[in-house]
Amino acid sequence: MHIDLSGRTALVTGAATGIGRATALALGEAGANLVANHLGRPEDAAELVHELERAGGRALAIEADVSDAAQVARLIGEAEAHFGAVDVLVNNAGILLEKPFLDMSEEDWDRVLNTDLKSVFLCCRAALPGMLKRGRGCIVNVASELGYLGRAGYAAYTTAKGGVITLTRSLAREFAPTVRVNAVAPGPVATDMLDTSVMSPEMIRKEADIPLGRVGRPEEIAGTVVFLASEQASFYCGQILSPNGGALMA
Ligand SMILES: NC(=O)c1ccc[n+]([C@@H]2O[C@H](COP(=O)([O-])OP(=O)(O)OC[C@H]3O[C@@H](n4cnc5c(N)ncnc54)[C@H](O)[C@@H]3O)[C@@H](O)[C@H]2O)c1
pLDDT band, very low/low/confident/very high, at 81 (cuts 50, 70, 90): very high
The string of pLDDT tens digits covering residues 172-219 is: 999 999 999 999 999 999 999 988 877 878 888 889 999 999 999 999
Phi-psi region of 22 (alpha: psi -120 to 50; beta: other; left: phi over 0): alpha
- Report the C-alpha gap between 94 and 101 in whole angstroms: 19
235 inside domain = yes
Ligand 1 centroid to 103 CA: how many Å?
23
pLDDT at 199: 80
Number of separate domains in the chain: 1
Report whether residue 16 contacts ligand 1, using a CB cutoff of 6 Å. yes
- Report the C-alpha gap between 114 and 136 in whole angstroms: 28
3 inside domain = no
The string of pLDDT tens digits covering residues 141-180 is: 999 999 999 999 999 999 999 999 999 999 999 999 999 9
Atom of ligand 1 nearest to the CA of 115: 31
Residue located nearest, by CA, to atom 1 of ligand 1: 189
Amino acid at residue number 208: A
Active site residue 236: no
Ligand 1 centroid to 17 CA: how many Å?
8
212 inside domain = no
- Report the C-alpha gap between 27 and 59 in whole angstroms: 11
208 inside domain = no
Ligand 1 centroid to 47 CA: how many Å?
18
CATH number at residue 118: 3.40.50.720
227 inside domain = yes
pLDDT at 48: 98
126 inside domain = yes
Residue located nearest, by CA, to atom 34 of ligand 1: 14
Which of 76, 95, 97, 117 for a ligand 1 pocket mutation test, highest count of atoms within 8 Å of Cβ? 95
The string of pLDDT tens digits covering residues 104-114 is: 999 999 999 99
247 inside domain = no
46 inside domain = yes
Enclosing domain of residue 180: 9-190+219-241
Cis-peptide, bond into residue 177, ω within 30° of zero: yes
Report whether residue 92 contacts ligand 1, using a CB cutoff of 6 Å. yes
- What's the mean pLDDT when you consider all of the chain? 97
pLDDT at 201: 82
Atom of ligand 1 nearest to the CA of 15: 39
